[in-house]
Amino acid sequence: MATAGLLGDGRTERLPDELADAEFVSLLYRPDGDALAATGILARTLAAIDTPFQATVSRPDRPGSDRERATDADLVIRVGFIDPADDTDGTDDTAATPEGSDGEILSLPGEPPPASLLAREVARELDYDPDPVLALAGSVATAVRDARDPWVGPFAEANEALLERGREHDGLGDRRPGVAVPTAEVIDGLAHSTLVHAPFSGDIERTRERCGPLVDDRDSTEIASLLALATVGAERTPPRGAIAIERALRPIALQDPTPVVTLEGYADVLSCVAVERPGVGLALLLGYDVREAALAAWRTHAQRAHAALQAATIARYDGLSVARLGAIAGTESTDGGGEKDGGEGTDNGNGRTVPVTTVARLLRDYRSPEPIALVVGDGLGALSATEDRTLGSVLAEATRDLDGMGGGTERAGAARFDADPEAFITAVREALADENRADGGDRTGTAADATVGDRS
């Protein structure tokens, strides 16, 4: 399947015509790497056709997070969310719609296929040829988020076509030995990658102590082997860690003017900056000189996520692993990220924040023996799964009686709530059980008592 034809599912086929006729467009994007990449593609397209636009991050777990931002746009595009006419994600669509907006609301959903692939086809319908590397980075970010392989499955052909296009015209290289980091400084990349969770992750001095001699020798194969052994050989790493670590090995090289050195590293930076400093992320994609700010946000995000998982207390239920966040060291933050309108996060009691969606993904891939991972902090939680479980609906149901709101995709979601964390855990488990019963299946994730508790 090439990208042609992806718009013909009834949800997105109107987008090219509506964008062509719009006088002012508002882009509301979900805080993840795919949605950020898709928004960057749409923003570049609108600039190319001389259509004014504004872009705002929109959070399904935060009621009213952007309703206060009134807009005169005659067209609002929600990027990375389910179609407003389809309530399968369980979210309140008005939570992602600016107050005072009278414009038509359309959606560029985040699954399936990845929003970045859809955005590229929209652009091509408007006679703009967008950057295939950016679209591919967004697609890879989706695969990482959802524990999928971007080169296997229904969109593998589309990704391969973008890879070939990028190799011909846009500086995409071949796979090479080594590790998938965004920076030329390998120690920096290994310490701050969120594609992997190793014993030294998040700590550059420990990374230098463990990996420095190999990096000095420039033996990329040995560095990759060390990373794999350190990760998969860790005491609490589940078998799926051996699959997850593959995303961090044998990267596809990038060349200038791409701001990072590998495709997978690009996807990692987009995913982190979309949460930590979404405004900087969009500026990066629009060609502004904010590379260092974006990499700084990536490092901060990674440090918080790895430290949180290392400090968490993990309990195992039937089909569900739960990480209860404890107090950790981190960086001061005003709103879960570095920006007033920035990232998600849960306060750990020290005025610091934890990016729970990333922690949930790392827990799922590198600590959880169960297919679903739940991270819970003070007033904020996140779910991540290795299988399709409509987690957006699960979190919406779980927060309904807890004065909160949740949403997400089939395999990833976040929620805010005003209740004791244990009440939220119970509500999530009950919602998973309800989903299981509604499907008439015998899936796990519903048992009563925890069987394991440890400090990761």
CA 275 from centroid of its chain's CA atoms: 8
CA 167 from centroid of its chain's CA atoms: 25
4 Cβ contact partners less than 8 Å away, ≥ 6 residues apart = 121
Query: What local confidence, expressed as pLDDT, does residue 345 receive?
Result: 56
Which DSSP state fits 251? Answer: P
Query: What local confidence, expressed as pLDDT, does residue 13 receive?
Result: 86
Query: What local confidence, expressed as pLDDT, does residue 87 receive?
Result: 36
SS3 64: coil
436 Cβ contact partners less than 8 Å away, ≥ 6 residues apart = 442, 443, 445, 446
Query: What local confidence, expressed as pLDDT, does residue 344 receive?
Result: 57
pLDDT band at 298, cuts 50/70/90? Answer: very high
Reply yes or no on whether the pLDDT at 286 is more than 70.
yes
What mean pLDDT do residues 320-328 have?
Answer: 84
φ and ψ at residue 124, rounded to 5 degrees: -65, -35
Residue 216: CB atoms within 10 A of its CB come to 10
Residue 355 one-letter amino acid: P
pLDDT digits (tens, 9 = 90+) for 367-382: 999 999 999 999 999 9
pLDDT band at 255, cuts 50/70/90? Answer: confident
pLDDT band at 168, cuts 50/70/90? Answer: confident
| H or E stretch covering 252 | strand 252-254
pLDDT digits (tens, 9 = 90+) for 408-429: 889 999 999 999 999 999 999 9
CB burial string 330-353: b at 16+ within 10 A, e below: beebeebbbbebbbbbbbbeeebb
Strands 104-108 and 75-79: parallel
Reply yes or no on whether the pLDDT at 326 is more than 80.
no
Contact of 70 with 98, CB cutoff 8 Å: yes
Query: What local confidence, expressed as pLDDT, does residue 387 receive?
Result: 92
Higher pLDDT, 336 or 17: 17
**Chain position carrying tokens 């997978």:** 264
Query: What local confidence, expressed as pLDDT, does residue 17 receive?
Result: 95
Query: What local confidence, expressed as pLDDT, does residue 328 receive?
Result: 46
Query: What local confidence, expressed as pLDDT, does residue 383 receive?
Result: 97
pLDDT band at 170, cuts 50/70/90? Answer: confident
Domains plus CATH for the chain? 15-172 (3.90.1640.10), 174-300 (no CATH), 304-455 (3.10.310.40)
- Mean pLDDT score of the chain, rounded to an integer? 84
Query: What local confidence, expressed as pLDDT, does residue 8 receive?
Result: 60
Query: What local confidence, expressed as pLDDT, does residue 429 receive?
Result: 97
SS3 113: coil
φ and ψ at residue 321, rounded to 5 degrees: -105, 135
d(CA 81, CA 76): 13
Reply yes or no on whether the pLDDT at 67 is more than 90.
no
Of 102-116, 260-274, 431-445, the one with minimum mean pLDDT is: 431-445
**Chain position carrying tokens 């968490």:** 312
d(CA 229, CA 207): 14
Query: What local confidence, expressed as pLDDT, does residue 350 receive?
Result: 34
Length, in residues, of the chain: 456
pLDDT band at 440, cuts 50/70/90? Answer: low
Reply yes or no on whether the pLDDT at 157 is more than 70.
yes
Contact of 90 with 393, CB cutoff 8 Å: yes
Of 53-62, 85-94, 212-221, the one with minimum mean pLDDT is: 85-94
Residues of the chain above pLDDT 90, percent = 64
d(CA 164, CA 160): 6
Give, to the nearest 10 degrees, the angle between helix 278-285 and helix 291-311.
140
What's the Cα-to-Cα distance from 173 to each of 169, 225, 252, 284, 309, rounded to whole Å?
11, 22, 6, 21, 34
Higher pLDDT, 18 or 98: 18
Query: What local confidence, expressed as pLDDT, does residue 25 receive?
Result: 97
Contact of 385 with 378, CB cutoff 8 Å: no
pLDDT band at 217, cuts 50/70/90? Answer: low
Residue 436: CB atoms within 10 A of its CB come to 17
What mean pLDDT do residues 242-246 have?
Answer: 93
What mean pLDDT do residues 351-366 have?
Answer: 88
pLDDT band at 218, cuts 50/70/90? Answer: low
3-state secondary structure 120-140: HHHHHHCCCCCCHHHHHHHHH
pLDDT band at 219, cuts 50/70/90? Answer: low
Residue 50: CB atoms within 10 A of its CB come to 6
What mean pLDDT do residues 188-212 have?
Answer: 94
d(CA 112, CA 391): 15
Q: The tokens of 292 are what?
A: 């260092």
What mean pLDDT do residues 124-152 have?
Answer: 96
Higher pLDDT, 443 or 284: 284
pTM of this structure = 0.88
